[in-house]
Amino acid sequence: MAYSQEDRPDEVLRDPFVNRGTAFKPTERAQMGLAGRLPPRVETIEEQVARIVQSVRAKTDSLERYTYLSAIQNENETLFFRAVTDNLREFLPLIYTPTVGQACLDWSRLYVRPRGLYLTAEHHSKITDILLGWPQRDVGIIVVTDGGRILGLGDLGANGMGIPIGKLALYSACAGVPPSQCLPVMLDVGTDTQSVREDPLYLGRRVPRLAGEAYAAFVDTFLTAVQQVFPDAIVQFEDFNNANAFGLLARYRDRLCCFNDDVQGSGAMGLAGLYSSGRITHRQMAQERILFVGAGEACLGIGAAVVAAMQREGLDPEQARSRCLFIDSKGTVVSTRSDLAAHKRAFAQDIAPLPDLVSTIDAFRPTVLFGACGRAGVFTQPVLQAMTRSCDLPVVFALSNPTSKAECTAEQAYGWTGGRVIFAAGSPFDAVTIAGATHAPGQANNSYIFPGVGLGILVSGASRVTDAMFLTAAQALAEQVTKEDLQVGRIFPPQDKMRDVAIAVATAVAQVAWGSGLGRTSAPKDPRAAVVRAMCEPKYPG
């Protein structure tokens, strides 16, 4: 949006896509009527970023840092993303996991300024008009949640809006997607968490969660409206509960350009971690035996990706599935159980149920242990020591977020095994020194996958998102792990390499789209260069 001297200065300063604060030049201040409205010194964006970094470091609480950075984002999008892009390793944990979990718990208390759309059942007949009223017309990516399963925290209702906002911030910071193309959406269908509904400050609908045909009709109306208003937009489903996530993906994946990050993004992330760890263990994918503690979207998504990868290495589907064993909240996922949902039944094994995690490890002899169950501390010392009995160099993923929900910490993983483990976690952990050897845990987070996937789809104009795109994204991510990373046990790149990762992933995804005939743009001679050109750099014009 362009402003002239006829515009009120307040409108300029309140528009985060235009506001530059103290970086407005004297001629711009005169043109826009800003004389006297700003301190007299004109700063560069680098000087503004230095002030932000200093202010962030002066604060002692992560949530306070999150709130401060959110205020910057609401005031000046360009400055916010420049600060984050220049300080990825330091700022990503503040604007997303693990801090965003606490922000969601406190969302109704932290709320200051609207961002994105909150759609309720009362809007059912008006959703198209609401989308038409969104001020940005070039929307390319919509991240939508219904708050049904926020990280490992459960049903938070409208408080889950922090997730779409945070995911889209990563799209811009890591993959250079312009903020104007990003739209966060909360489908407020109520919440079944009584403590949330009874919170006197809760800003969402204080009703039980919509379900059944009424829920399906509401979501369908929303997605139909998206296709009408933003026909080229990607829809990313985020943090829906298991009961809805798999059904929505199956219903819409062939009808519009969409994907479920918790299922497909997690699958690619987990697969990439296994490709990387294999360079340390020298085990082929088809040799791994994988135990999953949790049978929700993340673990089942990783399981599906692993089975596909094993088939590429020559196993038949049944052989591949037999190498993946799942444990859910009711025990081992076995074929004799009558309570299994369809998405779990495909992975049920014809074995006797086992009484506990240690005995399961001793019987199944896994080489890899994944945890995404949201139960803190479930990877106890006996569990981790059982993994070292199972194989010489086990791989352990403690994926649950936020940090308070992690199945174990890096210090526990390395300490209880004498450093005989390759470890990665959903939250960042510091390096650990055991017997003089330094072990650097990688952060196993979907932020290595979805920004690049989305960027690749935008660049190629892909009409659909396919499993092949996520398989190639996993390979591209794994290739970004260096020998130096592997020497300290890190199986994901450092976070300050996120933009390089996004370029590699986007290039691979775009090539799959063009190669499969799904791209609506023509394949360029240099796909990587096309991806880099599409990335927005956070800087002021002129």
Residues in CB range of 114: below 8 A, 6 or more apart: none
Angle between helix 467-479 and 297-312 (nearest 10): 80
**Does 167 qualify as catalytic in the annotation?**
yes
- Which amino acid is located at 225 in the chain? A
Tell me how far the alpha carbon of residue 487 is from its chain's centroid. 27
Tell me how far the alpha carbon of residue 359 is from its chain's centroid. 33
Active-site annotation holder among 66, 96, 118, 252: 96
297, 244 Cβ separation under 8 angstroms: no
Assign 3-class secondary structure to 194-230: HHHHCCCCCCCCCCCCCCHHHHHHHHHHHHHHHHHHC
**Does 96 qualify as catalytic in the annotation?**
yes
Backbone angles phi and psi of 339, in degrees to 5: -105, 10
Helix residue ranges, H only, 238-296:
242-252, 266-281
306, 271 Cβ separation under 8 angstroms: yes
Torsion angle (degrees, nearest 10) of CA 236, 223, 124, 136:
70
Residue 128, number of CB atoms within 10 A of its CB: 16
Active-site annotation holder among 66, 118, 167, 497: 167
- Residue 294, phi-psi category: left (phi > 0), alpha (psi -120 to 50), beta (remainder): left
246, 297 Cβ separation under 8 angstroms: yes
Residue of 432, 425, 513, 421 lying closest to 466 (CA atoms):
513
Helix residue ranges, H only, 106-211:
107-110, 127-132, 162-175, 194-197
Q: Which residues are catalytic?
A: 96, 167
